Amino acid sequence: MVENEKKLDSVEMESNWSESIESFEDLNLKQELLRGIYGFGWNKPSKIQQTSILPFIKSRDLIAQAQSGSGKTGAFTIGSLQIIDSEKSEVQALILAPTRELAQQIYDVYVFIGEYMKVKVLNLIGGTEVKESIKALENGVQIVVGSPGRVLDMLKKNYLKLSDLKVLILDEADDLLQKGFLENMKEIISLIPTECRINLFSATMPKEIVSLTDNFMNNPVKILVKNEELNLKGIKQYYVTLKKEWKLDTLMNLYKGLDIAQAIIFCNSKKGVDNLAEEMKKKGHMVSCIHSELQMADRAKVMFEFRKGVTRVLISTDLTARGIDVYQVSIVINYDLPTQKETYIHRIGRCGRYGKKGNAINFILPEEKDQLDSLMKFYDFVIEPLPQDLSQVK
Ligand code: AMP
């Protein structure tokens, strides 16, 4: 079974693009855009930015796969800001993300980088005032960042018009093209102009997803950044084998023994998140938690406080597994091992951002040992037993 699975997925996507630039100046970007990039503190393009901004400028469809935390958001933010015409008030770039939290984060990057451009960006996500979104759309925006449900709703009601769209970007594309989102995505794609570029970004790009793209992409540039610049080597991975009833005590021991800047603890269910948060609070720990059943305003508050470092420990479902970028996160704990191997990569990528060091610690039930072995085999990395002496975990 594991072997078959490996065969199915192991055909890596081949890059078919070799052009790359050394510096942001090499891209002949608009002056105001360049100012925004430098103003944001980015002096040199990351590996994925060196290769994947050019296809935007050259009007090509693109599939880009690069490590978590390697600057993908910057790549498509810069690429799309370069090609939009800020004199026009029509929507020219539409960016979709699987969660509201990620859409919000992307929106923030557009606002920062586009600071010196005359560009209006709208965050179109569920759980927010529809009236406000409609008003903003009526006043004219050039860029919309959203989650598929609200975007489709606005499209169907004809408030959002895509006749001038130049680029559709799917962040965490493999997630967006899976069952839960696929029908919405097909509908959105059917509504974009034929000449609109489609660009897909993710750290994981399973082969089935890449084959699916044949149906709606036009001879895409494919860029696969291997783990040479920033990679999982920055993240040390450990496991502890334990019984279910030992998980909480083990977590408490880790708490005592580890130096945690900020940490995310992942559970596989909403109930698991709530229960763990409650147990930890009973033990006197300040933790916050997030999952999709919380009200939007609460979700936003939790993320805001975590990003600001007001709270140091976030207990979460896979809602924050993808894309969420909090630089200070030094530890990811898989309180429950994820069932999908792609999810594992995304979860642990929440630490070790942009070349920083991080530690991922997995709680493994005895019956999950095979799953752990198959992860190591599949991704060809090592997950070591957690040392008794926690001072060795740095
Ligand atoms: P991302 O992979 O898009 O989530 O980006 C990961 C982190 O890298 C974010 O904190 C970005 O602000 C940062 N980043 C992206 N591009 C650059 C760059 N060219 N120079 C420095 N930091 C960057």
Q: The tokens 């095979």 sit on which residue? A: 370
Task: Answer yes or no: are the C-beta atoms of 326 and 102 closer than 8 Å.
Answer: no
Q: Output the residue whose Cα is nearest ligand 1's atom 13.
A: 71
Ligand 1 binding pocket mutation candidate from 23, 24, 29, 42 (most atoms within 8 A of CB): 42
Q: What is the DSSP string of 18-60?
A: ----SSGGGGT--HHHHHHHHHTT--S--HHHHHHSHHHHTT-
Going by pLDDT thresholds of 50, 70 and 90, the confidence category of residue 70 is confident
Q: Output the residue whose Cα is nearest ligand 1's atom 14.
A: 71
Task: Answer yes or no: are the C-beta atoms of 266 and 336 closer than 8 Å.
Answer: yes
Q: How far apart are the CA of 247 and the centre of ligand 1, in A? A: 34
Q: Output the residue whose Cα is nearest ligand 1's atom 15.
A: 71
pLDDT tens sequence across 260-284: 889 999 999 999 999 999 999 999 9
Angle (CA) 305-306-308 rounded to 5° is: 65
Task: Answer yes or no: are the C-beta atoms of 175 and 204 closer than 8 Å.
Answer: no
Ligand 1 binding pocket mutation candidate from 24, 43, 44, 73 (most atoms within 8 A of CB): 73
Which atom of ligand 1 approaches the CA of 45 most closely? 19
Q: How far apart are the CA of 301 and the centre of ligand 1, in A? A: 23
pLDDT, average across residues 222-243: 76
Please say if the pLDDT value at position 227 is more than 60.
no
Q: How far apart are the CA of 250 and the centre of ligand 1, in A? A: 33
Angle (CA) 67-318-392 rounded to 5° is: 65
Q: How far apart are the CA of 45 and the centre of ligand 1, in A? A: 9
Angle (CA) 320-321-327 rounded to 5° is: 75
Which atom of ligand 1 approaches the CA of 327 most closely? 10
314, amino acid identity: L
pLDDT, average across residues 110-136: 93
Pick the closest to residue 63 from 292, 253, 217 (CA basis). 217
Please say if the pLDDT value at position 301 is more than 90.
yes
Ligand 1 binding pocket mutation candidate from 201, 322, 325 (most atoms within 8 A of CB): 325
- Could you give the CA distance from residue 100 to residue 23 in angstroms, rounded to a whole number? 32
Q: How far apart are the CA of 230 and the centre of ligand 1, in A? A: 11
Q: Output the residue whose Cα is nearest ligand 1's atom 19.
A: 45
Q: Output the residue whose Cα is nearest ligand 1's atom 18.
A: 42
The answer, as to whether pTM is greater than 0.95, is no
- Could you give the CA distance from residue 344 to residue 273 in angstroms, rounded to a whole number? 17
Other C-beta atoms closer than 10 Å to the C-beta of 20 total 15
Going by pLDDT thresholds of 50, 70 and 90, the confidence category of residue 98 is very high
Please say if the pLDDT value at position 233 is more than 80.
no
Which atom of ligand 1 approaches the CA of 109 most closely? 12
Please say if the pLDDT value at position 11 is more than 50.
no
| DSSP code of residue 189 | H
Which atom of ligand 1 approaches the CA of 46 most closely? 19
Pick the closest to residue 320 from 140, 97, 21, 114 (CA basis). 97
Q: Output the residue whose Cα is nearest ligand 1's atom 22.
A: 42
pLDDT at 298: 94
Q: Label residues 231-244 b or e (16+ Cβ within 10 Å = b).
A: bbebbbbbbbeeee
Ligand 1 binding pocket mutation candidate from 46, 106, 204 (most atoms within 8 A of CB): 46
pLDDT at 394: 81
Going by pLDDT thresholds of 50, 70 and 90, the confidence category of residue 226 is low
Q: How far apart are the CA of 277 and the centre of ligand 1, in A? A: 30
Backbone angles phi, psi at 325, to 5 degrees: -120, 100
Which atom of ligand 1 approaches the CA of 323 most closely? 4
Going by pLDDT thresholds of 50, 70 and 90, the confidence category of residue 13 is low
385, amino acid identity: P
Query: Lowest mean pLDDT: which of 3-12, 170-179, 226-235, 295-304?
Result: 3-12
pLDDT, average across residues 41-66: 94
Higher pLDDT, 292 or 225: 292
Pick the closest to residue 50 from 82, 75, 69, 87 (CA basis). 75
Q: How far apart are the CA of 333 and the centre of ligand 1, in A? A: 23
| DSSP code of residue 193 | -
Q: What is the DSSP string of 365-380?
A: -GGGHHHHHHHHHHHT
Which atom of ligand 1 approaches the CA of 105 most closely? 4
- 121-124/143-146 β-pairing: parallel
Here the tokens at position 351 are: 């630490």
265, amino acid identity: I
Which atom of ligand 1 approaches the CA of 67 most closely? 2
pLDDT at 209: 87
Backbone angles phi, psi at 219, to 5 degrees: 40, 60
Q: Which residues line ligand 1 (CB under 6 A)?
A: 42, 44-46, 49, 69-74, 325, 327, 353-354
Q: How far apart are the CA of 360 and the centre of ligand 1, in A? A: 20
Give the start-end residues of each E strand in 229-339. Answer: 235-241, 262-266, 288-290, 313-316, 329-334
